[in-house]
Amino acid sequence: MNQVLVLDKEQTRAGLDLLRVLDAVSVALVALSRGEVSAPPRIAAQAPGGLLGAMPAYVPGIGLAAKLVSVFSSPGQSGRSSHRGLVALFDEHDGRVRALLDAEPLTAVRTAASATLSMRALLPQPSRVAVLGAGVQATAQVAMLAALDATIPVVVGGRDAARTAELAARHPKAEAATIEAAVRDADVVFCCTGATEPLFPRAWLREDVHVSSVGGSHGHELDPAVVADGTLFAEWPGAVTAAPPAGAYELQGLDPGRVTLLGAVLDGARPGRAGRGGLTVFKSTGHGALDVAAAAVVHDWARAHGVGTAVAM
C-alpha cells in the first residue's frame, strides 16, 4: 500500500526555505515561458462567499502536483481574504501520491517568491520598497525581502495602523505608514491585499517605479491608469487571455502582445527594462507550476529531516 507523507501547517511552513523556494520558482517560471509546463487554466466553483479553485501542473524535472484552494473574503474586513486548502504532490513517473501539504503557507511563500523575482528581474537595486497590506501575503512578502537583502529599507503601508506597525516590526529596516505615504516614497511597490478596487491612483507613483500586484482575486487591485501606462509582465499567457479567476481582472481585453512573461526575462530571452526606465507592472495570478516548485522544496526537506506523518492510502 502506498505511504503518503502528510505535513500540517507548521511542518509545511518549516520546510519552506525562502531562498530555495525563490530558486525553484525561478526555474518554474522559466519553464512556463518556454512552454514546457503542462497545466490547464485554473477552474473554480463559486460559492456565496468565495471560490474553490483547482490547479494541477507538471513541471519537468521538478514534479507533478495539484492544489485545491478556497479564496474567501473576510466578512466585514474590506481588502482581506483567506486562502485555505491543500497541495497533493504525486510521483511524476508512476502517479503515486507522495505527500499532502498545507496550501496556505505554501501559496503565500511561492507568491512572494514570484513577486520578488519580478523585482530582481526589473528593478534589482531598489532604494526603498513598499509592501501594501498586513495579512498573510504581505507578511510572506516582508519575510522574503528580509531573507533576500535585509539592508533595503521597507515601508509597510495599510489602513490599519496597528497591524501595519506589527508587520513592520518583523523586518530590521521597516517602518509603517499610510498607503499613500508608502507608495509615494518607494521605487518598488508590492500590492499584497484582497482588494476589490484599486489601492491607489497612478498619480501617487514615481515615473520609474516597479509595481507588483499579487492580489485582486475578487476584483481590481490596480488603477487602470497604472496598467495603461506600464510595461506589463505576467507569469503565463492566460493572465491576459483567460477569464478570472484564472486570468487577471486588470488584464482582461488587453492585447496579449503587451504582456511579457517574467520567465522569459529571467531566462534572458526577452528584455526587461532594457535601460528604458519607466513604469513596469508585474501582475500575478498565481500558477500551478509555482505550487509544484514550492511543494518539491518542502517534500525534499521533510524527507531529509524525517518530518511528517506517513499515512497508508
| pLDDT tens digits for range 269-280 | 999 887 667 999
Q: Please tell me the predicted confidence (pLDDT) of residue 41.
A: 86
Has this prediction a pTM greater than 0.85?
Answer: yes
Taking only the tens place, the pLDDT of each residue in 25-45 is 999 999 999 999 999 988 889
Whether residue 178 contacts residue 207, with contact meaning beta carbons closer than 8 Å, is answered with: no
Q: Please tell me the predicted confidence (pLDDT) of residue 156.
A: 98
As a whole number of angstroms, the distance between CA 120 and CA 117 comes to 5
Distances (CA, A) of 145 to 15, 44, 170, 286: 18, 31, 11, 19
Fold for domain 3-106+288-312? ornithine cyclodeaminase, domain 1 (3.30.1780)
Q: Please tell me the predicted confidence (pLDDT) of residue 80.
A: 58
3-state secondary structure 33-63: HCCCCECCCCEEEEECCEEEEEEEEEECCCE
Grid cell of 73 as nine digits: 473574503
Question: How many DSSP H helices and E strands does the chain contain?
Answer: 10, 15
The region of weakest confidence among 166-180, 231-245, 247-261, 272-286 is 272-286
Q: Please tell me the predicted confidence (pLDDT) of residue 212.
A: 98
Single out the residue of 257, 161, 249 nearest to residue 213, CA to CA: 249
CATH superfamily of 121-283: NAD(P)-binding Rossmann-like Domain (3.40.50.720)
Going by DSSP bridges, is the β-strand pair 43-47/50-59 parallel, antiparallel, or unpaired?
antiparallel
Could you state, in order of their start, the residue ranges of all structural domains in the chain? Answer: 3-106+288-312, 121-283
Q: Please tell me the predicted confidence (pLDDT) of residue 268.
A: 95
Q: Return the bridge partners of 188, or none.
A: 129, 210
Whether residue 165 contacts residue 176, with contact meaning beta carbons closer than 8 Å, is answered with: yes
Residue 74's pLDDT band (cuts 50, 70, 90): low
Rounded average pLDDT over 184-204: 95
Whether residue 10 contacts residue 298, with contact meaning beta carbons closer than 8 Å, is answered with: no
Reported residue count of the chain is: 313
Q: Please tell me the predicted confidence (pLDDT) of residue 2.
A: 86
